[in-house]
């Protein structure tokens, strides 16, 4: 099973670039299908209201049953004090299985990490070259897994790549994804130094072509076991605990509602997509 761990879906409500305007999922799906990609982690593009944006992500997942895994986008600063509420809603109502945050919105905070810990969610956090924070976050939250996309820089910052390669090799709870990394030898180094268990295939679709990004993994010429890790098993391992804790939480919620005499018919588009 091939899983793309990084794809945007739905509309942004801004208009400054493709990243906050529109991430059309249909063209991506066509390309991903042709490339043999079975499942994809989706989250919103940049948005001025991530509660709305996450609801939109859930709606997209519902339209394509058993195809997507969803991460909840949060704004570390603007959503301050409400991150638990936003994430809890996404996890319990829609079965989301990770958190996405971006340095362009705001530097990740203790609040984001504590919510990730509480729900056992991985955090896909784009550091935009500011890799130093990883050396603070990772040891402070050893039970939270951090995926640093683009090997630390979408903008081809080789110094950030070098630092993230070092971090994934030193810090057991730090991972990276391959989305948009251009300088191929940094991917080779990431595998050599960090290990195949620390690198996840991601495309940054729909803006980058998933087949092109997938071909980079093929060109690494890994052993079948290592390639399987990069192409999906690592992601499955990182979200493994989520289903359990989420299931327990949902059951708890149902029990509480039942005790109060409230019926509950929450549908979970992502939960139905979860891989056992
Ligand atoms: Zn992205």
CATH label of the domain that carries residue 207: 3.20.20.140
pLDDT, position 269? 60
CA 82 to ligand 1 center in whole angstroms: 23
CA 151 to ligand 1 center in whole angstroms: 12
CA 72 to ligand 1 center in whole angstroms: 13
CA 256 to ligand 1 center in whole angstroms: 37
The answer, as to whether pTM is greater than 0.85, is: yes
Number of domains in the chain: 1
Give DSSP secondary structure letters for 94-159: H---EEEEETTT----HHHHHHHHHHT--EEEE-TT-THHHHHHHHH-TTS-EEEGGGG-TT--HH
CA 114 to ligand 1 center in whole angstroms: 23
Could you state, in chain order, the average pLDDT of each consecutive group of 10 residues for the chain (276 residues)?
98 93 97 98 97 98 97 98 98 97 97 97 98 98 98 98 98 98 98 98 98 98 98 97 62 62 52 49
CA 11 to ligand 1 center in whole angstroms: 14
CA 102 to ligand 1 center in whole angstroms: 9
Domain that holds residue 90: 3-273
């Amino acid at each position: 099973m091939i899983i793309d761990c990084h794809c945007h879906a739905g509309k942004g409500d801004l208009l400054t670039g493709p990243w906050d305007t529109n991430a059309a999922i249909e063209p991506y799906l066509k390309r991903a299908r042709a490339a043999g990609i079975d499942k994809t982690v989706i989250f919103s593009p940049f948005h001025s209201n991530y509660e709305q944006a996450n609801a939109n992500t859930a709606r997209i997942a519902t339209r394509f049953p058993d195809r997507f895994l969803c991460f909840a986008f949060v704004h570390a600063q603007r959503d301050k004090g409400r991150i638990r509420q936003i994430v809890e809603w996404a996890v319990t109502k829609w079965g989301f299985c990770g958190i996405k945050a971006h340095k362009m919105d705001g530097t990740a905070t203790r609040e984001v990490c504590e919510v990730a810990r509480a729900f056992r969610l991985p955090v896909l956090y784009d550091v935009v070259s500011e890799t130093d924070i990883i050396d603070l976050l990772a040891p402070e939250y050893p039970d939270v897994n951090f995926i640093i996309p683009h090997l630390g820089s979408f903008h081809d910052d080789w110094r950030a790549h070098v630092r993230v390669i070092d971090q994934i090799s030193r810090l057991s709870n730090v991972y990276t994804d391959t989305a948009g990394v251009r300088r191929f030898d940094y991917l080779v180094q990431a595998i050599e130094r960090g290990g195949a268990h620390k690198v996840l295939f991601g495309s940054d679709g729909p803006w980058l072509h998933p087949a092109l990004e997938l071909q980079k993994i093929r060109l690494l010429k890994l052993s079948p076991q290592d390639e399987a890790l990069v192409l999906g098993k690592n992601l499955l391992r990182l979200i493994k605990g989520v289903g359990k804790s989420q299931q327990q939480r949902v059951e708890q919620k149902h029990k509480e509602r039942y005790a109060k005499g409230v019926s509950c018919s929450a549908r979970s588009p992502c939960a139905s997509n979860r891989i056992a």
